[in-house]
Amino acid sequence: MDTIIGLEIHLQLKTESKMFCSCSSQYFEKEPNTLTCPKCLGLPGALPVPNKHALELCILMGLATNCTIAKHIKFDRKHYFYPDLPKGYQISQYDEPLCNNGTVNIKLPDGSTSTVLIERIHQEEDVAKTFHLKDGTTGADYTLVDYNKSGVPLIEIVTKPCIKSAQEAKLYATKIRQIARYLGISDADMEKGQMRCEPNISIQETGKWQMVDNKIKPIGDYKLNPKTEVKNIGSISAVEKAIEYEVKRMTDDLQAGKKLTQQTRGWNAEKGITEFQRSKESAEDYRYFREPDIPIINVSDQDIANISTKLVELPDAKAERYKNDFGLQDYDIEVLTASRDIAEYFEKAFDLSGDAKSTANWITGIIFSHLNKNGIEINDVSIKPEDLAILTKSVNTKAITTNKAKEILLNCLSNDKSVDISSEIEKAQSSAVSDDGALLNMVKQALSENEKAVTDYKSGKTAVIGFLVGAVMKLSKGNADPNKVKDLLEKELGK
């Protein structure tokens, strides 16, 4: 059996106002129905007026994923009856999406790269928030509706059915979230509903189907199995789990001789299962037609050029540069490019210190374990890129030892308040045993206290020098430079 997956991802755009009216789109944790107007309440006679910035952000996503951008923007009405949609239709785009035929590369665990084909990215509007309840006395069903979310700009990114596994789907969703956050077009927080993933899944017998123009076609008299669409997925990891569950459910049903039907199912995160919601409506049931209230919008080359200036260096390009210019390892590159904030932190610290490798090591090592332990973001730490650069330079000029730098860094990180790294380094230097006389005394003390090691060294077991360096470091309370200690020890032992 082959698994064939297409993914629809909705992203809420980070705009100030809604898609077709001037109400605020910042609806999170606001009192219900306080961000509405006749347009987003769908009152008769209200005219939608498209938000330029929202369309710019949609185009930006299209450019970042190598899409072709349409020369004209046309909106369509998608009809269905549900209380979350006061107009009785959603303004969306049907046959002429804004962005077409893009690509996104994902890195698979075996190190190879897979290209996910994007069919389209279109602009639409979000719907209201609904709560389904039961009346306490009569038991009658009712729904409470909050229209604050109604009309918030939304884009839908649709892939071709080219994804082959649950894991690939998860990696692709992660990549889309990463790109959206790099571009700053969406916060893409799935728990807050700013990003929603809806996989379309089908299983087909190996060798009985083929891809023709990116559509699944049967070979011979094979009858294709219908697909299911899964909704209500609340996290990136649930994308993988829901697909795995659904593939198993369909496989089991087929083996038990049951007939599969095209349907929409909901992911139940608590139970870890998908549940039947409804049999899927077909496109013609939505009775799409052109939105007559919005004129066709011309998009010129100059408009695209203006929007292009807002493109930033994306994770793939960054990763390549870090590898070619800095010779960083794959793991470090992955960590450093995971978010734009981390990459910018790294680049700023590198610009000031000129040492990419050490900077990368500090960040991926001590700083990252601090972030993970405390569940905080890079911009929350008390050590700023400027501080890290000073620290790196101090080690490189041998003003302080690596161990001392580590100690300072750990100390500063555990201190929430802002730190004065220069004064910390000065303090360390003043307490450092750089006085050759004092250090030589410690070396002599260590040698006299470890006679066996000295005998071993002289009989040819020179590896024992490490033990002796350790002994001196202990006497100096970690304040000596281990290289200098080693030099002095070798000199003394050679006498």
Partner 1 sequence: MKFDKELLEHVAHLSKIKLTDKEIEEFTPQMQSILDSAGKIAQVDTSSVKMGYSQTIDFSELREDIVKPSLSNQEALANAPFTQAGYIQVWGATFGSEES
Conformational region of residue 88, where left means phi above 0, alpha means psi within -120 to 50, and beta covers everything else: left
Site pattern 167..206 for partner 1 (x: CB under 8 A): -----------------------------x----------
User: Which CB sits closer to partner 1, 54 or 454?
Assistant: 54
- Asked if residue 158 binds partner 1 (CB under 8 A), the reply is no
- Asked if residue 303 binds partner 1 (CB under 8 A), the reply is yes
Least distance to partner 1 from the beta carbon of 188, Å? 15
Among 52, 164, 461, 474, binds partner 1 (CB under 8 A): 52
User: Which CB sits closer to partner 1, 140 or 256?
Assistant: 140
Tokens found for residue 392: 């790196």
Query: d(Cα 359, Cα 365) in Å, to the nearest integer?
Result: 10
User: Which CB sits closer to partner 1, 68 or 143?
Assistant: 143
- Asked if residue 393 binds partner 1 (CB under 8 A), the reply is no
| C-alpha closest to that of 362 among 380, 340, 381, 346 | 346
Q: Considering all CA atoms of the chain, what is the largest pairwise distance in Å, rounded to the nearest integer?
A: 100
Query: d(Cα 480, Cα 473) in Å, to the nearest integer?
Result: 6
Among 259, 278, 452, 477, binds partner 1 (CB under 8 A): 278
Tokens found for residue 382: 């008390």
Least distance to partner 1 from the beta carbon of 46, Å? 12
- Asked if residue 90 binds partner 1 (CB under 8 A), the reply is yes
Q: How many residues does the chain have?
A: 495
Least distance to partner 1 from the beta carbon of 9, Å? 11
Least distance to partner 1 from the beta carbon of 428, Å? 50
- Asked if residue 42 binds partner 1 (CB under 8 A), the reply is no
Query: From the CB of residue 442, how many other CB atoms can be counted at a distance below 10 Å?
Result: 19
Buried b (16+ CB within 10 A) or exposed e, 259-270: eeeebbbbbeee
Query: d(Cα 144, Cα 84) in Å, to the nearest integer?
Result: 10
Pick the stretch among 10-18, 252-260, 325-333, 347-355 that binds partner 1 (CB under 8 A): 10-18
Q: HEC profile for 200-250?
A: EEEEECCCCEEEECCEEEECCCCCCCCCEEEECCCCHHHHHHHHHHHHHHH
Q: In which residue are the tokens 């990696």 written?
A: 171
Pick the stretch among 72-80, 253-261, 347-355, 396-404 that binds partner 1 (CB under 8 A): 72-80
Pick the stretch among 102-110, 121-129, 373-381, 402-410 that binds partner 1 (CB under 8 A): 121-129
- Asked if residue 85 binds partner 1 (CB under 8 A), the reply is yes
Query: d(Cα 169, Cα 3) in Å, to the nearest integer?
Result: 11
- Asked if residue 262 binds partner 1 (CB under 8 A), the reply is no
- Asked if residue 209 binds partner 1 (CB under 8 A), the reply is no
Among 107, 231, 249, 348, binds partner 1 (CB under 8 A): 231
Query: d(Cα 223, Cα 217) in Å, to the nearest integer?
Result: 9
- Asked if residue 298 binds partner 1 (CB under 8 A), the reply is yes
- Asked if residue 244 binds partner 1 (CB under 8 A), the reply is no
Query: d(Cα 63, Cα 57) in Å, to the nearest integer?
Result: 10
End-to-end, the C-alpha distance of the chain in Å comes to: 76
Among 1, 28, 142, 210, binds partner 1 (CB under 8 A): 142
User: Which CB sits closer to partner 1, 294 or 409?
Assistant: 294
Buried b (16+ CB within 10 A) or exposed e, 118-143: bbbbbbbbbbbbeeeeeeeeeeeeee
Residues in contact with partner 1 by CB under 8 A are: 10, 15-17, 22-24, 31-38, 41, 49-55, 72-73, 80-85, 90, 124, 126-127, 129-132, 140-147, 154, 156, 196, 231-232, 264, 266, 277-278, 281, 285, 295-300, 303
